[in-house]
Amino acid sequence: MIVTVTMNPAIDKTVEIGKFEYSGLNRIKSSISDAGGKGINVSKTIKHLGGQTTATGLMGGNSGKIIENAMRELDIPSDFVWVEGETRTNMKVLDADGNVTELNEPGPVIQKEAVDTLLEKLEKLAGPDTFFVLAGSIPAGVDSGIYGTIIERVKKKGAKVFLDADGELFTKALAAGPDYIKPNRFELEQYFSFEGHATDLELVEMGRKMQAKGIGTVAVSLGGEGALFVLEDTALKAPGLKVEAHSTVGAGDAMVAALSYGIDSGFDIQKCIRLGMATSAGAVTTIGTKPPTKELVEELMKQVELIEL
């Protein structure tokens, strides 16, 4: 079973207006709201691919209820720890000039008790058949070492962990030895304080250094250029698939979702990679963070090329 953990969920609201009136009245022409946050997006994509997941994490207030309802409608079981305060609403304002103005709420400040309750919940869910996906940022009040703590606790019970985070959150979690990570080029170069644009082989070298520290598979996503996969005994490059890009937001989440689904289903690693490449390329053809259809994913899987490095 795949359990996604979203510490900092959000309602992603996209509104369309006419010309932007600074300091004036802006009437909204259309408005779309989606349940968001990286872990939740991963759950939605897994569901689309035909997999099963439970979404957990921290949730608050009326917007939390809206997200919970949206998950119910998508038939995704959710099991959140409820906190005081209101889960974030992040608004993207699209104006007639094509500009996007973002207005993001801060979200609730989390009390230690809520984090402890979440840790207990995750430990209860953990077992040899549980695959955790830890993805995205954390809200105020939560220690940046939280992902490391979660990894340690659930790995003790035999669970596997896929980590997708950046900055301090990423760095601190690595010591706990996640089984899978998916930094993008920038996150990996930043971690190694690498100056300039690393070559494929330099990126593989960085992946190997991470494995030497106890991390399992390292997937390095390269946006439109595709991705690299540093496996136990080999490294593979999958060049980016040629698709019409509409929105690259959430491409990384789609990759994480598809890899997790493939691994948890017991597919061989090459099939997991094909699925990851196809699902993430499919995701950029849709607007916002909407997952691609299964048909498109199947079509794109045939186009994935794997090159040994």
Interface residue with ligand ATP, options 45, 130, 221, 260 (CB under 6 A): 221
Assign 131 to helix, strand or coil: strand
Closest-CB residue for ligand ATP? Answer: 252
Select 67 or 259, whichever has its Cβ closest to ligand ATP: 259
224 binds, among Mg ion, ligand ATP, none (CB under 5 to 8 A by kind): ligand ATP
**240 in contact with ligand ATP (CB under 6 A):** yes
User: Is 142 an interacting residue with respect to ligand ATP (CB under 6 A)?
Assistant: no
Collapsing DSSP states into helix, strand and coil, what is residue 147? helix
Residue from 235, 236, 250 nearest 282 by CA: 250
Residue 245 is a binding residue for ligand ATP (CB under 6 A):
yes
> 62, 104, 234, 248: which one contacts ligand ATP (CB under 6 A)?
248
The residues that touch Mg ion, with contacts defined as CB under 5 A, are: 252
Among 4, 184, 217, 260, binds ligand ATP (CB under 6 A): 184
Q: Is 116 a catalytic residue?
A: no
Binding partner at 240 among ligand ATP, Mg ion, none, C-beta below 5 to 8 Å by kind: ligand ATP
Nearest Cα to Cα of residue 185 among 220, 161, 141, 136: 220
**Max CA pair span of the chain:** 60
Range list of H helices, the chain: 38-49, 61-73, 112-125, 146-156, 167-174, 185-191, 200-212, 251-264, 269-285, 294-301
CB-neighbour burial class of residue 285 (10 A; exposed 0-12, middle 13-18, buried 19+) = middle
Q: Could you tell me the two tokens for 294?
A: 């299964």
Among 12, 179, 253, 264, which one carries the catalytic annotation? 253
Query: CB-based burial of residue 300 (10 Å sphere; 0-12 exposed, 13-18 middle, 19+ buried)?
Result: buried
Q: According to CB under 6 A, which one of 253, 257, 261, 262 is a site residue for ligand ATP?
A: 253
Active site residues: 253
Would you tell me which residues interact with ligand ATP (CB under 6 A)?
184, 221-224, 226-227, 240-241, 243, 245, 248, 250-253, 255, 277, 280-281, 284
